[in-house]
Amino acid sequence: MKVRQAALAGQWYSGHSKDLQLSIEKYLQSSPQLVPSDSPVRALVVPHAGHFWSGPTAAVGYRALNPAQYRRIFILCPNHRMPVHGTASVSVDAFETPLGQLKVDKSVIRRWEKLGVIRIHDAPHTEEHAIEIQLPFIQTVFKNNPPVIVPLIVGEMTPYDVQRLGDAFRNELNDDDLVIVSTDLMHYGENYGYVPFGAPVLSQIRAYDAQTISAIAALNSEKFENYARRTPHAACGLNALRVFSYVF
């Protein structure tokens, strides 16, 4: 059995299972219940920094889930560690964290590889944080009956590539599937090579991010493609969001 080992444990989140579970439970308990528990959630867009930074925000999304509703979770994210052209999934059987293993739905990966909408490429996943950072939340929320996962790193994509993968999603998704897009929004600062404005910085970042959130929530693929072209720094997972906009 091939397992993708945790790369972040002890760095981006606790490497001890008991401490990790307690920290996730604390984030969940402290988060507001924004969606009624009987309201079906089809997708989440959540951040992927270390849990100290992203945990409180991510928990708001995960708290909205009814664990009994889902049997499979698609996780889309950008590439941070190495270039990816198209969409890369994995050949491994499971992803592991200190809380245990999550099995991979290899059947859909094989089907989509044959369709030519993704490729199997393990190397970008080895050190990628944007999928792994979500897994302890999934394991805590779903406890002893976790869904299978479909990990997808979405790299450079033409509009045609986006449409083809979006069509594959539309043909595949069932009511018991969940789509998670793991992305941060604007990366502002000299370290990121992006300083589009000066003071007051925080209010302008919030206004910029609010525009991006509105564009995502519109669920209009044509408009989001235009938005992505105009604002390439809107989110690190912009390509994953392009696919997302086409699916729903």
**Tokens read off for 179:** 């789509």
**Tokens read off for 65:** 């889930």
What is the C-alpha separation between 210 and 114, in angstroms, rounded? 38
**Residue with structure tokens 């910085």?**
201
pTM of the model: 0.96
Give residue-wise pLDDT tens across range 98-121.
999 999 999 999 999 999 999 999
Would you say the C-alpha torsion 188, 191, 192, 197 has a positive or negative sign? positive
**Tokens read off for 231:** 């604002």
Model confidence band, residue 161 (pLDDT cutoffs 50, 70, 90): very high
To which H or E segment does residue 72 belong?
strand 72-77
Give the rounded percent of residues in the chain with a pLDDT score beyond 70. 100
pLDDT of residue 180: 98
What are the residues facing 74 on neighbouring strands? 150, 179
pLDDT of residue 205: 93
Q: CB–CB of 114/22 below 8 Å? A: no
pLDDT of residue 36: 72
Give residue-wise pLDDT tens across range 181-190.
999 999 988 9
Give residue-wise pLDDT tens across range 170-182.
999 999 999 999 9
Model confidence band, residue 34 (pLDDT cutoffs 50, 70, 90): confident
Asked which of 14-18, 32-36, 196-200 is least confident by mean pLDDT, the reply is: 32-36
Mean pLDDT of the chain: 95
- Parallel, antiparallel, or unpaired for β 87-89 and 148-154? antiparallel
pLDDT of residue 37: 66
The stretch 121-144 carries a mean pLDDT of: 96
**Residue with structure tokens 């000066």?**
198
Asked which of 51-60, 155-164, 184-193 is least confident by mean pLDDT, the reply is: 184-193
Q: CB–CB of 180/46 below 8 Å? A: yes
